[in-house]
Structure 1
Amino acid sequence: MSSINPRSYEPSPTRRVAFLGLGVMGYPMAGHLATAGHQVTVYNRTATKSEAWCAEFAGVTGQKHAKTPREAAQDAEIVFCCVGNDEDLRSVVLGADGAFAGMRPGATFVDHTTASAEVARELYAAAKKLGLQFIDAPVSGGQAGAQNGQLTVMCGGDQAAFDAMRPTAMAFSRACTRIGDSGAGQLAKMVNQICIAGLVQGLSEAIAFGQQAGLDMPLVLDVIGKGAAQSWQLDNRGKTMVQGRFDFGFAVDWMRKDLGLVLDEARRNGARLPVTALVDQFYADVQRAGGNRWDTSSLITRLVPPRP
């Protein structure tokens, strides 16, 4: 079974690209680049994942894997990346085997990691000194969005570099938008995560309340989903929350990492986030209950115990 779902691709010039990091997001994102006709060289810390990706997309011309980020980036016009955190990002970008060491002057590095605005600005400055371009471009849409090629991409960086990379990035995107200068993409992703944290907590409380009141909650969700309470979380996670299903989507561990970035940034810029800070601690409760890899909708388990 393919890791990506077929879709039509916007016409764009064929590019030589690299993709660093073949996790649950990066693997299908790189697959869409290959299927859209781009020549893709992949790198993953665990080489067997790179080999599996090349085997899956063997029928598409020009796909190969590399042993280091530097080797993967050598012939690339655009280097895409999606890894775990700030330190993971630095490890594949900097140093003798890092991507920057292999990139040609004028090439663009596009980082889809959800990371700090601080590291985005740091790497943007480092890239500039080497004659390279750097775009911070975190994504929203989860694993399903990556598989369907329907991610929303929030970008920070120079306009010319963004304009050059956007047609290629549309292979895995439904929208790819420049928010502002370096770091703005990461800040926009933080806004996204603040919204999600509050929405999932509100949805959890609503479902728990309705169940306690004896309502037919799937029916209630259908009804309120046609009104002002409608949201992506309600549409895609409401009924699975009622069923006690949390074996898909964005993991609690990842959400806590993201909310940690949000709260760190808030301490720097002076923003007050009382609800976000509270929900972050609620997610810590879920972790302590063993839900580290459950989907973020498992927040409801604090109010309604999971089914055996």
Structure 2
Amino acid sequence: MTSSRKLAFIGMGVMGAPMASHLVKAGHQVTVYNRTFEKAQAWAERHPGQQAARTPALAAADAEIVLLCVGNDADVREVISGRNGLLESLKPGSLIIDHTTASASLAKEMVECCDQKQIDFLDAPVSGGQQGAENGQLTIMVGGNNAAFVRGEPIMQCFAKAVTHMGPAGSGQLTKMVNQICIGGLVQALAEGLNFAAAAGLDQQKVIDVISLGAAGSWQMNNRHKTMIANEYEHGFAVDWMRKDLGICLEQARQINAQLPVTALVDQFYSEVQQLGGGRWDTSSLLRRLQAFSKPADNKN
């Protein structure tokens, strides 16, 4: 528990809405904004005493700290420095914590923009997905100055199992890129393994029961194998969002001359999932792609 603070939360999506709810549970006063006002209003109705605002500026008018979780670089820029944005109403000494997965260059741009108003900015992307947000078990990687991090950490702890300061502005986003690079390779490997097991005539569940206890085990294996075996993908982290994230990773890699051959290949595979109509499917739908493009085995002896 921390002392009650006046907060604002921008973005009432599948991540932002439960994150804001955890802030209320911790005793904070929260005003929310969403581009579709009805979503913000519905959230406020579920949380008596909290408010919904018509613009980011109105949401932040009395806030000490503003948190946001929106779609992409352009959304962050619009919410913070656009018309009716946060900088129109935030007072000097306020803090903005951006939980959006965005580019490292945007984080640096927003720091410069906020500095002119004597407002601190932290880039703080999260990992753990909708389930982690709902359970208050997100992992948060943070970039920005240390004094701002010390101020913001107790607030972020309301919906996190780990909050780590990674370095100066942009460091949080760069760390999230590493996270997404690793996830892409892991999910593709899991999809290939399950597809191979089925083609070989093995019981996929028994295979997972065995190998998950050894060196092949991972969060993706533990949390996604059942729905993959059941061919269920109407949940989780959407392919469209993963492609956005991998695009950020690949662009950053070009800038720093880092090789990402597997990531580039997995990004291509996700584009094929989109062509199958799976833009809103969970990222584990890479298995559906393999099934769609696999030819029946010739079992003649």
Give the TM bin, normalised by the shorter chain: over 0.9
Task: Tell whether the 8 Å contact from 1:136 to 1:182 is kept in structure 2 after alignment.
Answer: yes
Could you say what secondary structure the match of 1:248 adopts?
Answer: coil
Could you say what secondary structure the match of 1:171 adopts?
Answer: helix
| Counterpart residue identity of residue 37, structure 2 | A
| Counterpart residue identity of residue 186, structure 1 | Q
Distance 1:223 1:96 in 2: 56
Task: Using the aligned pairs only, state the percent identity.
Answer: 56
Distance 1:15 1:157 in 2: 21
Distance 1:181 1:228 in 2: 34
Q: 1:262 aligns with which of 227, 249, 255?
A: 249
Distance 2:289 2:36 in 1: 35
- CA deviations 1:23-72 (Å, max 9, x no partner) are 010011001101110000101111100110011111xx4x1111110111
What residue in structure 1 maps to residue 147 of structure 2?
A: 160
Q: Does 1:34 align with 2:24?
A: yes
Q: 1:23 aligns with which of 13, 29, 34?
A: 13
Q: 2:159 aligns with which of 172, 176, 201?
A: 172
Deviation at 1:239, TM superposition (A): 2.0
| Counterpart residue identity of residue 34, structure 2 | N
Deviation at 1:14, TM superposition (A): 1.1
Q: 1:77 aligns with which of 64, 83, 97?
A: 64
What residue in structure 2 maps to residue 47 of structure 1?
A: 37
What residue in structure 2 maps to residue 132 of structure 1?
A: 119
| Counterpart residue identity of residue 45, structure 2 | A
What residue in structure 2 maps to residue 201 of structure 1?
A: 188
| Counterpart residue identity of residue 212, structure 2 | G
- Aligned-pair Cα RMSD in Å: 1.0
Q: Map residues 1-308 of structure 1 onto 2, 5 A cutoff.
A: 11-58=1-48, 61=49, 63-305=50-292
Distance 1:235 1:95 in 2: 42
What residue in structure 2 maps to residue 6 of structure 1?
A: none
| Counterpart residue identity of residue 66, structure 2 | V
- CA deviations 1:199-223 (Å, max 9, x no partner) are 0000011001111111111011011
Could you say what secondary structure the match of 1:303 adopts?
Answer: helix
| Counterpart residue identity of residue 86, structure 2 | A
Distance 1:175 1:277 in 2: 29
Distance 2:26 2:99 in 1: 19
- CA deviations 1:222-268 (Å, max 9, x no partner) are 11111111100000011211111111100000000000000000010
Distance 2:274 2:250 in 1: 18
| Counterpart residue identity of residue 40, structure 1 | V
Distance 1:50 1:233 in 2: 32
Distance 2:227 2:41 in 1: 34
Deviation at 1:302, TM superposition (A): 1.8
4+ residue runs over 4 A deviation? none
Distance 1:134 1:248 in 2: 32
Distance 1:82 1:40 in 2: 15
Deviation at 1:194, TM superposition (A): 0.2
What residue in structure 1 maps to residue 296 of structure 2?
A: none
| Counterpart residue identity of residue 241, structure 2 | W
Distance 1:304 1:96 in 2: 47
| Counterpart residue identity of residue 226, structure 2 | K
Deviation at 1:180, TM superposition (A): 0.5
Distance 1:96 1:117 in 2: 23
Residues matched between the structures, number? 293
Distance 2:206 2:227 in 1: 13
User: Structure 2: which 5+ residue stretches go unaligned?
Assistant: 294-301
| Counterpart residue identity of residue 5, structure 2 | R
Task: Tell whether the 8 Å contact from 1:34 to 1:40 is kept in structure 2 after alignment.
Answer: yes
Deviation at 1:96, TM superposition (A): 3.8
Deviation at 1:129, TM superposition (A): 1.3
User: Structure 1: which 5+ residue stretches go unaligned?
Assistant: 1-10
